[in-house]
């Protein structure tokens, strides 16, 4: 990353707003106004360009000093019998401070994208997987199978950067790469090759996806399938796909868990992951879960190394107590089990806390609008714009350094949560 | 503030001190001379106690991607060892894949004051250091993994000169904040991506035509010529494969006398004799180590029970995945850089193979003559969690105890080993060499692992108990940089250790090749790949200690 001081043009800026964490953005900063000049997309533009509006903390809608807000939040936490620290859309040090505070205040931790993330985490904890990372995909993929996901909506530059890049390190002809959508039909043309080759689409409803995946895996295991079709898909078409997976030298099977929005989608993810493992008996194949938005990979990583467990861990007994069902904080809030909610959402003004009866403290990005004004609102800086930070990418391997692009004076989540912890 | 530690029996092999009663003075975190004016602020009576430098674990998987995968995937293993918060300590969990906080506390409670992560992937260095940053009390550092990264293999396939390879190695060490270089299944992780399932020492990578032997030679030479004190740290070919001892000996003897460290040698010392086609190669391995003075080893002792194996060697971890217990495992290809495999495992004393693995490790310990060239590890957590070190020390120091345990193991395995006939018992002095003086010298820590004036006041004090497991489990005192952190085996202070690195010189011209390489093939820019010194300091708790290079080290 280099800074051209006169023009305030920043190059090689990493985006914390999308899980693939592209770090080739050029950004212009004039005062507090940020503009993505190069390599932007709908998600990074919204992420970087959302203007600052309110900078003052509020208690019940009334402007107060930061110290007063912190003191009030501390009081709420001190008197809480069942606190929750959730949202957790923050960077490395924000997540660290949330963990320290949860430990001290005996809170339950959760992330706003846990519902999706746990469709993968439960599989990791039950049977595991064989996965790959973005640079391997960029250089090696010969067959990409997209399961049940319209990935360009959430990851607009995925195909440009990982599939239709200019060249592979290993001399592979890029145009020879093949893309197959199994389940959802893509909403745009990102998956179309530079010379116009369209992805193959094998469409079915979400509700049929579990069965379709089961049949595909069974075919790969050499089982005989009695039915002619499954979920409206001819079995012969799945048999052809199975054959292509076996012939491919480095197939990649990808999915975005947030788009597998049906009950017990984790079982389908598990079937995909076991299928990939089985393919590796003869050839190479890898899974690639796409996620990592709003700091969800970062939150789960930090929680795993500090507590041993991912999100949905409860500290009320003084030690980490992990339960992905009981400590689902959306459920806890809906069932009125929570008296105090600390909601951290420093990336996206639209990620506000779910409605609840709990006393609510929001550490939010400036400009957040609420249907129900929280008891305390503290506008915080956005990592990678207002302060430095680090964020993990979707693959849980690579993390990017985030730079301070402007001097807005907004405090970081780390500063606010650390101050609450100290005064608790 | 001057503290006097009075009258302890001191074991300080770096200065040849073997159980001599002497006083030690501490000021500002360092060991100092006796004050000329005789003024002492605090005196601690250590008469009758055993005094050593703080112990150093030179190979322990405490931070980085694969360790965190292990943590995330093992909630059931943590559940039996959750750790409650106290006034002093954060909550966490222990056993096979402990939380970073608990790991730091427990190392300190055992008298350890430093631990080194042996497998930092360059692309994952940032995470490894984040985790070590959250590991309290102990000093830390790590060895950066090269040898399956495409950049090196491309250089080798293009027959680049040694100087440019040295340059790349130095650049990578600097920007991943490392103190050593590790190679894991040399070239094998890369070959697995091309669907090769094994890669012997002279077997060629399908794409690059490069062999593991070439890679070892180039990297060992680079490390040596750069003046990096820690020799190339080698996890060899064919880990866990019966009959691998031939390759292991060939690896050690084929390096032409260059300094080389063979890690978890136990897993590489297997023959194929007997009904089970699995036998001990410890005698041949030990003989080769004894003969080749350029070689150092750590053992990677296995101990019985549940653990998890976490390795960069995804080729061998994939092969071992059918043995996972519980039945779940992860393998990953990573960023044209490396890979990893995480396979939970339970070593069983009534399994012929596991029992013999236990014996092979101990045979190597007892048959290698020079304690300066062999180090005490379980390859935490791969052979066993680090918390089993006191038990392992007792096995080494107490022949009766060792043979009592031996007699309970798989009977056929007992017949396949000469362990019962080995008389050797390690002395306290030898334990102090293996876990302190020798380890510091091997890692390249100038100011640690000894009790001489000027050294860091990392000091552990034990009661000389005949039960060595008891003795080494609960030190009377542990001092970290002069602060008493443990008293009577209990933590009383939480401090934050430093990160040890080396910074070999490199020629910036290497970036002319690296920058376009990152731009064309990678998904991260070169500038964002580099870890700055500030990232080690981080929120202010961290610090960087740059250790000296060997004299004459240069590009």
Question: How far is it, in rounded angstroms, from Cα A178 to Cα A144?
Answer: 6
For the stretch A30-87, pLDDT in tens is: 999 999 999 999 999 999 999 999 999 999 999 999 999 999 999 999 999 999 999 9
- B416 to chain A, closest Cα gap in Å: 34
Closest residue, chain A, to B519 (C-alpha): A24
Q: Is B48 domain-assigned? A: no
How many beta carbons lie within 10 A of that of residue A5, not counting itself?
Answer: 6
Is the residue at B506 inside a domain? no
A136 touches chain B (CB under 8 A): yes
Tokens of A406: 């402007």
Residue A7 has pLDDT above 80, yes or no: no
Whether A130 and B331 lie within 8 Å, measured CB to CB: yes
pLDDT in tens, B127-139: 999 999 999 999 9
Could you tell me which of B443, B471, B444 has the C-alpha nearest to residue B57?
Answer: B443
- Residue A348 tokens read as 């996206």
B371-417 pLDDT, tens per residue?
999 999 999 999 999 999 999 999 999 999 999 999 999 999 999 99
Q: Where residue B553 falls among pLDDT bands split at 50, 70, 90?
A: low
Kindly list the distances between the CA atom of residue A409 and the CA atoms of A28, A94, A387, in Å, as whole numbers in the listed order: 19, 17, 9
Does residue B7 lie in a domain region?
no
Q: Is the pLDDT of residue B554 over 70?
A: no
Enumerate the β-bridge partners of residue A86. A343
| pLDDT confidence bin for B551, thresholds 50/70/90 | confident
- What average pLDDT is seen over chain A? 97
- The predicted pLDDT at position A18 comes to 86
A54-113+294-423 CATH pick, 3.40.50.740, 3.30.1540.20, 3.60.20.30, 1.20.210.10: 3.40.50.740
According to DSSP, the residues that pair with B486 across neighbouring strands are: B478, B491
Q: How far does A106 lie from chain B, in Å, by closest CA?
A: 10
Between A92-105 and A413-423, two packed helices, what is the crossing angle to 10 degrees? 20
Give me the number of domains chain B comprises: 1
Which residue of chain B is at minimal alpha-carbon distance from A130?
A: B331
pLDDT of B552 above 80: no
Asked if the model's pLDDT at residue A254 lies above 70, the reply is yes
B389 and B474 Cβ atoms separated by less than 8 Å = no
Length of chain A (residues): 424
Domain boundaries, chain A: 2-46, 54-113+294-423, 118-291
Residue appearing with tokens 């993990």: A392
Structural domain contains residue B34: no
Indicate if the pLDDT at residue B419 is higher than 90: yes
Selecting from A104, A138, A399 the residue whose C-beta is nearest the C-beta of B126 gives A399
**Helices A413-423, A66-78: inter-axial angle, 10-degree rounding:** 50
User: What are the tokens at A86?
Assistant: 């959730």
| Runs of H (alpha helix) within B177-244 | 188-193, 212-226
Q: How far apart are CA B233 and CA B225, in angstroms?
A: 15
B555 pLDDT tier (thresholds 50, 70, 90): very low
Q: Suggest the residue from A128, A136, A299 to mutate for an interface test with chain B (most B CBs closer than 10 A).
A: A128
Omega before B326 within 30 of 0, i.e. cis: yes
Residue of chain B nearest A284, judged by CA positions: B195
pLDDT in tens, B439-496: 999 999 999 999 999 999 999 999 999 999 999 999 999 999 999 999 999 999 999 9
CATH class of A118-291: alpha beta
CB B443 within 8 A of CB B141: yes
Whole-angstrom Cα distance, residue B127 to residue B537? Answer: 14
Q: Which residue has the tokens 């985790």?
A: B131
What is the SS3 assignment for A302? helix
Chain A nearest-CA distance from B291, in A, is 41
Beta carbons of A282 and A250 less than 8 angstroms apart: no
Whether residues B331 and A121 touch (CB distance < 8 A) is answered with no
Report d(CA B356, CA B363) in Å as an integer: 10
* Residue A61: Cβ-neighbour burial (10 angstroms; 0-12, 13-18, 19+): exposed
- Give the Cα separation of B134 and B140 in Å (integer): 11
Could you tell me which chain B residue has the CA closest to the CA of A169? B521
Cα B429 from Cα B436, distance rounded (Å): 10
Return the sign of the alpha-carbon dihedral for residues A50, A53, A56, A62: negative
Is residue B232's pLDDT more than 60? Answer: yes
> Cβ separation of B75 and A135 shorter than 8 Å?
no
From the list A103, A136, A306, which residue is nearest B134 (CB)?
A306
CB B275 within 8 A of CB B261: no
DSSP-derived secondary structure letter, B531: P
Task: Single out the residue of B426, B424, B431, B423 nearest to residue B472, CA to CA.
Answer: B431
Q: Which residues of A222-233 are buried (b: 16+ CB within 10 A; e: fewer)?
A: eeebeeeebbeb
Of A132, A302, A315, the CB nearest to B333: A132
Subunit contact A1:B528, Cβ cutoff 8 A: yes
Per residue in B485-540, pLDDT tens? 999 999 999 999 999 999 999 999 999 999 999 999 999 999 999 999 999 999 89
Domain that holds residue B374: 53-499
Residue range A297-347, pLDDT digits in tens: 999 999 999 999 999 999 999 999 999 999 999 999 999 999 999 999 999
Alpha-carbon dihedral B320, B321, B322, B327, rounded to 10 degrees: 140
What is the average pLDDT across A83-100?
98
Backbone angles phi, psi at A380, to 5 degrees: -120, 160
Distance from CA of B427 to the nearest CA of A (A): 37
Q: Is residue A5 scored above 70 in pLDDT?
A: no
Q: State both tokens at A198.
A: 């369209």
Over the stretch A195-243, which tens digit does the pLDDT of each residue have? 999 999 999 999 999 999 999 999 999 999 999 999 999 999 999 999 9
Instruction: Give contacts of A 280-309 with B, CB under 8 A.
Output: 280, 283-284, 286, 300-302, 304-309
* CATH number of the domain encompassing residue B249: 3.20.20
- CA pair distance A199, B339, nearest whole angstrom: 29
> With pLDDT > 90 as the criterion, what percentage of chain A qualifies?
98
Q: Which residues pair with A360 in a beta bridge?
A: A341
Is residue B205 a part of any domain in this protein?
yes
Q: Is residue B18 part of a domain?
A: no
Is beta strand A108-109 parallel, antiparallel or unpaired with respect to A313-314?
antiparallel
Alpha-carbon distance A341 to nearest alpha carbon in chain B (angstroms):
21
Alpha-carbon separation of residue A198 from A191, A194, A254, A255 (angstroms): 7, 10, 18, 19
- Which residues on chain A are in Cβ contact (under 8 Å) with B331? 130-131, 280
* Number of other CB atoms surrounding residue B35 within 10 Å: 13
DSSP string, B331-370: EEEETTTEEEEEEEEEE-TTSHHHHHHHHHHHHHHHH---
């Amino acid at each position: 990353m280099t800074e051209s001081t006169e023009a305030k043009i920043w190059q090689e800026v990493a985006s914390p707003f999308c899980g693939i964490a592209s770090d080739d953005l050029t950004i212009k900063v004039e005062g507090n106004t940020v503009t993505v000049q190069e390599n932007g997309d709908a998600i990074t533009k919204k992420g970087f360009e959302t203007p600052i509006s309110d900078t003052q903390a509020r208690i019940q809608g009334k402007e107060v000093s930061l110290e007063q807000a912190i003191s009030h939040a501390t009081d709420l936490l001190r008197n809480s019998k069942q606190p929750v620290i959730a949202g957790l859309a923050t960077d490395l040090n924000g997540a660290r401070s949330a963990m320290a505070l949860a430990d001290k205040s005996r809170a339950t931790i959760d992330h706003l994208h846990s519902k999706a993330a746990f469709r993968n985490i439960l599989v990791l904890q039950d049977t595991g997987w064989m996965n790959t990372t973005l640079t391997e995909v960029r250089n090696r993929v010969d067959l990409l199978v997209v399961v049940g996901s319209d990935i360009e909506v959430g990851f607009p530059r995925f195909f440009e950067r990982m599939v239709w890049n200019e060249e592979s390190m290993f001399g592979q002809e890029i145009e020879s790469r093949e893309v197959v959508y199994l389940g959802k039909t893509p909403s745009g043309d990102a998956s179309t090759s530079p010379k116009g080759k369209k992805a193959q689409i094998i469409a079915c409803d979400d509700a049929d996806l579990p069965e379709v995946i089961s049949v595909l895996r069974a075919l790969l295991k050499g089982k005989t399938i009695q039915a002619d079709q499954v979920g409206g898909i001819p079995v012969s078409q799945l048999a052809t796909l199975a054959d292509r997976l076996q012939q491919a030298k480095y197939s990649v099977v990808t999915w975005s868990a947030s788009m597998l929005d049906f009950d017990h989608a984790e079982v389908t993810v598990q079937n995909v992951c076991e299928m990939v493992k089985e393919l590796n008996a003869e050839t190479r194949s890898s899974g690639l879960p796409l996620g990592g938005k709003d700091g969800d990979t970062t939150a789960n990583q930090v929680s795993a190394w500090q507590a041993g467990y991912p999100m949905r861990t409860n500290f009320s007994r003084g030690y980490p107590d992990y339960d992905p069902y009981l400590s689902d904080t959306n459920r806890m809030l809906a069932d009125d089990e929570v008296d105090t909610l600390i909601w951290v959402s420093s990336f996206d003004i639209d990620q506000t806390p779910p409605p609840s009866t709990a006393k609510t403290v929001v550490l939010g990005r400036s400009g957040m609008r609420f249907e129900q004004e929280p008891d305390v609102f503290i506008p915080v800086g956005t990592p990678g714009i207002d302060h430095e930070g680090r964020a993990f990418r979707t693959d849980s391997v690579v993390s990017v350094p985030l730079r301070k692009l402007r001097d807005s004076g907004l405090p970081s989540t780390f500063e606010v949560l650390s101050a609450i912890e100290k005064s608790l | 503030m001057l503290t006097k530690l009075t009258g302890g029996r001191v074991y300080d092999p770096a200065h040849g001190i073997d159980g001599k009663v002497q006083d030690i003075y501490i000021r500002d975190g360092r060991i100092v001379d006796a004050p000329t004016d005789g003024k002492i602020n605090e005196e601690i009576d250590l008469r009758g106690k055993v005094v050593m430098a703080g112990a150093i674990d030179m190979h322990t998987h405490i931070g980085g991607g694969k360790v965190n995968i292990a943590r995330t995937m093992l909630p059931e293993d943590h559940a039996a060892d959750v750790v409650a918060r106290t006034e002093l300590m954060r909550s966490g969990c222990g056993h096979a894949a402990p939380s970073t906080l608990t790991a730091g506390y427990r190392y300190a409670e055992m008298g350890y004051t430093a631990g080194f992560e042996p497998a930092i992937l360059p692309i994952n260095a940032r995470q490894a250091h984040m985790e070590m940053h959250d590991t309290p009390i102990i000093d830390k550092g790590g060895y950066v993994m090269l040898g399956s990264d495409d950049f090196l293999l491309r250089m080798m396939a293009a027959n680049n000169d040694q100087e440019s390879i040295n340059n790349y190695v130095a650049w990578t060490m600097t920007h991943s904040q490392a103190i050593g270089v590790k190679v894991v299944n040399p070239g094998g992780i890369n070959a697995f991506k091309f669907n090769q399932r094994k890669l012997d020492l002279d077997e060629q990578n399908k794409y690059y035509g490069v062999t593991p032997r070439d890679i070892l030679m180039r990297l060992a030479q680079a490390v040596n010529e750069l003046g990096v004190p820690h020799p190339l740290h080698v996890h060899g070919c064919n880990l866990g494969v019966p009959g691998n001892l031939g390759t292991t000996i060939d690896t050690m003897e084929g390096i032409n006398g260059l300094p080389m460290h063979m890690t978890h040698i136990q897993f590489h010392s297997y023959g194929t004799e007997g009904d089970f086609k699995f036998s001990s190669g410890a005698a041949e391995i030990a003989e080769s180590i004894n003969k080749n003075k350029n070689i150092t080893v750590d053992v990677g002792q296995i101990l019985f029970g549940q653990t998890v194996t976490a390795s960069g060697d995804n080729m061998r971890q994939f092969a071992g995945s059918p043995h996972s217990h519980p039945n779940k495992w992860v393998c990953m290809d990573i960023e044209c850089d490396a890979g990893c495999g995480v396979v939970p495992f339970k070593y069983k004393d009534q399994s012929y193979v596991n029992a013999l693995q236990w014996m092979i490790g101990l045979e190597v310990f007892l048959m290698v003559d020079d304690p300066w060239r062999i180090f005490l590890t379980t390859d935490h957590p791969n052979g066993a969690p680090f918390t089993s070190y006191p038990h392992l020390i007792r096995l080494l120091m107490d022949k009766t105890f060792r043979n009592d345990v031996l007699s309970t193991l798989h009977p056929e395995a007992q017949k396949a080993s000469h362990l019962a006939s080995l008389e050797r018992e390690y002395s306290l002095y030898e334990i102090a060499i293996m876990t302190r003086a020798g380890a510091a010298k091997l890692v390249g820590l100038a100011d640690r692992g000894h009790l001489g004036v000027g050294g860091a006041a990392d000091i552990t004090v034990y009661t000389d108990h005949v039960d060595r497991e008891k003795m080494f489990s609960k030190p009377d005192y542990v001092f970290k940089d002069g602060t008493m952190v443990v008293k009577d085996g209990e933590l009383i202070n939480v401090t934050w250790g430093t990160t040890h690195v080396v910074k070999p010189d490199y020629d910036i011209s290497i970036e002319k090749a690296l920058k376009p390489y990152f731009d064309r093939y990678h998904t991260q820019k070169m500038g964002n790949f580099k870890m700055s010194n500030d990232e080690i300091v981080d929120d202010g708790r961290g610090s960087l200690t740059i250790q000296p290079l060997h004299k004459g080290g240069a590009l």
